[in-house]
Structure 1
Amino acid sequence: MKLLLVEDELKLGEYIKKGLSEAGFIVEHQATGLDGYQAMMSGSFNVIIMDVMLPDVSGFELVKNYRAAGKLTPVLFLTAKDELSDRVKGIEIGGDDYLTKPFAFAELIVRIKSLLRRANQADYQNTVLQVADLQLDILKRSVYRGETPIKLTAKEFALLQFLLERQGEVLPRSVIASQVWDINFDSDTNVIDVAIRRLRIKIDDDFELKLIHTIRGMGYKLEAQEALDVSGDSATKSNPSSAK
């Protein structure tokens, strides 16, 4: 799940981004209204978290224009403006929810999940993603291979969810980096390979059927069969030393 956060208070923005990332969300943070609006119009997000009192343009105005353009992504207003008239205005101009500062972080996460359910978005309708005997439950934040529970970190969970959502596709390291880590891929870094290796240890090492495959020179793929490289030979099997 990818979220857009438009918040001009940099420390608060980084705090929110860090907390939501640890909860398994992918978060893009924009600090001005204009940058936020450009991201809203050009990017693909599951929920937008919008501050109202931005330095260059009101969050209300941004969302009003966004809805006028026919965009339907759920919007959660996050603001210190707590007057009833402000809350009513926020909903009337196209907001889906309204949370005032200061707020409990647990409530923010609950509100986001509620918006995802209410929006009935295609990638949230089925909360259980599965391939072979591997199951990932988005709502329960649980992973199983058969009857065996698998404990993952928040980032490992996000990585596995992304692989499952795109199962059968060859995913370049650059795509994984941008979608799961929200960073530009640097060919000199092995962060993606290390993360895949750690995930393989938990997902594949103790099981006969290997699900995460390396496609030489191209990236990674998750599926319940042997992966083939472009020459037709069997690609690197799932073992911790193969992800280089």
Structure 2
Amino acid sequence: MAETILLVEDETSLISYLKTELEFEDYQVLVALDGLAAWQQYQAHHDQLSLIILDWMLPKLDGLEVMRRIRKHDDLPIIMMTARDYIGDKVAGLDNGADDYITKPFEIEELLARIRVIIRRQSKQNQLRQKYQIADLTLDTKARQVMRDHQLIQLTQREYNLLLTLLRHQDEVQTRDELLNQVWGVDFDGQVNIVDVYIRYLRNKIDHDQDRPLIETVRGVGYLIRSNPNEGK
């Protein structure tokens, strides 16, 4: 069965070109020329979609607002596509839930490669969908929901992926480089200390005011969540 991609772009010549190239690669393609149409397409077809390619600058609703709305419902992969190349914009896009970011102009081969990587990764994640529980913390990958002490915890996409990675490797020390590769991707060109920054964000949400913190720091190495938190005490 062909993967279905929602392509959101207000430049008609570009959307025509990309649609032709994607269909040549055997993808099914839905299109939207503005942010409101993109939101309506998502609402109508979200169960069929494998990926969204979403331009930032759109009429009616900008791409960031469209992505925020989608992220309230699911973790469908999104590639942000924009002429912006300021690093702050890239960070904003990724922090608000984008899985990847491509800057115009780009070669079609690069976009196709990014699509293949994301769909392959999503397929593996779907096979691993389950519920994790450590002490009074639960993470349900199907609902994309995190709770601790019966309280719902709101996480950004990056914080969620970081926590999920630690839970998938519980009892194993994850180095900063390993977390960087798994959560940010091997082509991320930022500094490794971004891992420490996001660990701090995550701790403030899941370990704040808790008698039993779950995320351990292994000095000089990385981070760890134990399947039995009492073992490390």
Q: CA deviation at 1:58?
A: 1.0
Distance in 2 of aligned mates of 1:84 and 1:39 = 29
- Counterpart AA for 1:20: L
Give 3-state SS (helix, strand or coil) of 1:46's partner. strand
Which residue of 11, 17, 23 corresponds with 1:21?
A: 23
Give 3-state SS (helix, strand or coil) of 1:120's partner. helix
Change in CA separation of 1:98 and 1:122 when aligned onto 2, cut-off 3 Å:
closer
Q: In the alignment, which residue of structure 2 is the partner of 1:55? A: 59
**Unaligned residue ranges in structure 1 (runs of 5+):** 126-244
Name the count of aligned residue pairs. 124
Change in CA separation of 1:124 and 1:113 when aligned onto 2, cut-off 3 Å:
farther
Give 3-state SS (helix, strand or coil) of 2:76's partner. coil
**Unaligned residue ranges in structure 2 (runs of 5+):** 129-233
Q: How does 1:183-222 map to 2 (within 5 A)?
A: none
Q: How does 1:93-112 map to 2 (within 5 A)?
A: 93-112=96-115
Change in CA separation of 1:10 and 1:124 when aligned onto 2, cut-off 3 Å:
farther
| Aligned CA-pair RMSD | 1.8
Distance in 2 of aligned mates of 1:77 and 1:104 = 15
| 1:77/1:95 contact within 8 Å kept | yes
Change in CA separation of 1:122 and 1:24 when aligned onto 2, cut-off 3 Å:
farther
Which residue of 56, 64, 70 corresponds with 1:66?
A: 70
Q: In the alignment, which residue of structure 2 is the partner of 1:6? A: 8
Q: CA deviation at 1:122?
A: 8.1
Distance in 2 of aligned mates of 1:102 and 1:51 = 12
| 1:8/1:31 contact within 8 Å kept | yes
Q: CA deviation at 1:120?
A: 2.1
Give 3-state SS (helix, strand or coil) of 1:94's partner. coil
Distance in 2 of aligned mates of 1:82 and 1:56 = 22
Give 3-state SS (helix, strand or coil) of 1:82's partner. coil
Distance in 1 of aligned mates of 2:117 and 2:109 = 12
Residue deviations 1:190-236, cap 9 Å, x none?
Answer: xxxxxxxxxxxxxxxxxxxxxxxxxxxxxxxxxxxxxxxxxxxxxxx
Distance in 1 of aligned mates of 2:32 and 2:114 = 20
Q: In the alignment, which residue of structure 2 is the partner of 1:118? A: 121
- Counterpart AA for 1:18: T
Give 3-state SS (helix, strand or coil) of 2:49's partner. coil
| 1:6/1:33 contact within 8 Å kept | yes
Q: CA deviation at 1:11?
A: 0.6
Q: How does 1:142-221 map to 2 (within 5 A)?
A: none
- Counterpart AA for 1:42: A
Distance in 1 of aligned mates of 2:125 and 2:65 = 28
Which residue of 54, 72, 83 corresponds with 1:80?
A: 83
Residue deviations 1:119-158, cap 9 Å, x none?
Answer: 1268999xxxxxxxxxxxxxxxxxxxxxxxxxxxxxxxxx
Q: CA deviation at 1:42?
A: 2.0
Change in CA separation of 1:47 and 1:124 when aligned onto 2, cut-off 3 Å:
farther
Distance in 1 of aligned mates of 2:127 and 2:53 = 18
Residue deviations 1:148-195, cap 9 Å, x none?
Answer: xxxxxxxxxxxxxxxxxxxxxxxxxxxxxxxxxxxxxxxxxxxxxxxx
Change in CA separation of 1:124 and 1:81 when aligned onto 2, cut-off 3 Å:
farther
Q: Report the structure number with the largest CA radius of gyration.
A: 1
Q: In the alignment, which residue of structure 1 is the partner of 2:49? A: 45
